[in-house]
Amino acid sequence: MTHCISEPDLLKEAAEWLLPTLSSFRQEFPAHTNPSQACRVRWNALLCQADLVALTWPREYGGRARPTADLIAFHELCASHGAPQPINSIAHSILAPTLLQFGTDAQKARFLPGIRDGSEIWCQGYSEPGSGSDLASVRTRGTQTPAGWVVKGHKIWTTQAHLARWCFALVRTDPDSTGHRGLSFMLIDMQAPGVRVSPIRQLTGEADYNEVFFENVPVTAENIVGEVGQGWRIAMAAAEYERGIYFLPRVVQLEHEFERAEALFDRAVLETNEAHSYAHRLQEARDRCQVIRWRVEQVVSRVAAGSTPGIDGAILKLLWSETRQMVVELQLELLGERAVLGPEAEGEYAADASTVREFLWSRAETIVAGTSEIQRNIIAERLLGLPKDKSTDGN
């Protein structure tokens, strides 16, 4: 993969830190534990201690003022060595760039340090019951008071809400508005009175997702990012970061998973017809991985040039999520009887159990960060110029 030229000293420093740190880390957290909460919390702390979270931030906010190409290269370096996703990656890759672009000086001074040092975990409050990926139908309300706002509503599928100190959320602050209008981008204290978090048990047995209830939660006026009623524009910019930079490490992970599927195929004892079928499916997955590589180049070019991923982010997210489901399903089938052990098997079967876990988790990946249907609508409207889908037009 061709990368933008990056300043070599940072990558050399990062590699010198990463390899021994990850080797020591693996003594406590083997690779198959990467998705676990404890593993991701600890890795987040190590990144923060090494000052490797705020690479592109301005120096006045504790950043290292490095070019975006360095950030991209560092993400791929970590992913190529199988490092876990840090628990606060939503804040690193989505909220921090959003605050740097749209936040006030006071908001940057208040919230960026907690992201940089790892002391404050964030969650994203977008989806609501009955709304899914249709953010235009947000019903959580913000009512203005002399002290700021009072928020009442219900969010769902909120990742890490049980750990989060703060939540960035879309809230309807104009009671007469519909659709995309009248929404505001709020920063809500998860320890404020009136916040209630209820875990959602997943197929994997984990509970990373949550329901969040806001029952007359106070929010100060200073905790609205941008102008009141302009939340949609800010949320869309944040979504582009989510579908772009946030997914880059996952593309490298997908390539490693495809290599494992090939290795399982090479070891499998199959009938001739079965072997031909699997070979055909692997070739399709290989071709899709190559297309994803090309799309990553487009995202890297746009981000390194100072732009957001744009439509390429939607294309990448769509291709990646559906291809990953294909690849992990191939792995699961080729595991044979070991696949029935379930996602919590230990000992000599721990690595196989992690494949089962990834298969179950991958079912959600065509839903999170915008469903495949939403991505197809975005591509159809913005790239192909097709008419808007009336069923999703809330204006």
CA distance 17 to 376: 41
Same structural domain for residues 188 and 324? no
Same structural domain for residues 161 and 276? no
**309 closest CA partner among 372, 247, 235, 384:** 247
> And the tokens for 125?
């409050």
Look up the CATH number of the domain holding residue 130: 2.40.110.10
> And the tokens for 134?
């249709």
Q: Which helix (H) or strand (E) holds 199?
A: strand 195-200
**227 closest CA partner among 144, 103, 95:** 103
Residue 32 forms part of a structural domain: yes
Residue 117 forms part of a structural domain: no
Mark which of 229, 264, 295 sits at the end of a domain. 229
pLDDT of residue 332: 92
CA distance 313 to 379: 10
Residue 1 forms part of a structural domain: no
Same structural domain for residues 380 and 295? yes
The one catalytic residue in 128, 206, 242, 257 is 242
pLDDT of residue 39: 96
Q: Can you give 76-114 as a three-state secondary structure string?
A: HHHHHCCCCCCCCHHHHHHHHHHHHHHCCHHHHHHHHHH
Look up the CATH number of the domain holding residue 353: 1.20.140.10
CB 308 within 8 A of CB 240: yes
Q: Are strands 141-145 and 195-200 parallel, antiparallel or unpaired?
A: unpaired
Residue 93 forms part of a structural domain: no
Same structural domain for residues 32 and 60? yes
Residue 242 among the catalytic residues:
yes
Residue 2 forms part of a structural domain: no
CA distance 16 to 75: 15
pLDDT of residue 210: 95
The DSSP string of 140-190 is -EEEEETTEEEEEEEE-S-TTTTT-SEEEEEEE--TT--TTTTEEEEEEET
Same structural domain for residues 338 and 297? yes
Residue 92 forms part of a structural domain: no
Same structural domain for residues 265 and 297? yes
Same structural domain for residues 253 and 379? yes
Same structural domain for residues 199 and 249? no
Mark which of 181, 204, 229 sits at the end of a domain. 229
Same structural domain for residues 322 and 351? yes
Same structural domain for residues 256 and 175? no
Residue 173 forms part of a structural domain: yes
Which SS3 state, helix, strand or coil, does residue 46 take? helix
CA distance 186 to 21: 37
In this prediction the pTM is: 0.84
CA distance 321 to 89: 18
Same structural domain for residues 268 and 225? no
CA distance 378 to 266: 39
Beta bridge partners of 155: 212
Give the chain's domain count: 3
Residue 289 forms part of a structural domain: yes
Domain that holds residue 376: 244-392
Same structural domain for residues 197 and 274? no
CA distance 107 to 99: 7
**Residues of the chain scoring pLDDT < 50:** 1-6, 394-395
Q: Which residues, other chains included, contact 167 with Cβ-Cβ below 8 Å and sequence gap of 6+?
A: 122, 123, 124, 125, 155, 158, 161, 187, 188, 190, 212
The DSSP string of 201-242 is --TTS---EEEEEEEEEEEEGGGEESSTTBHHHHHHHHHHHH
Mark which of 198, 229, 260 sits at the end of a domain. 229
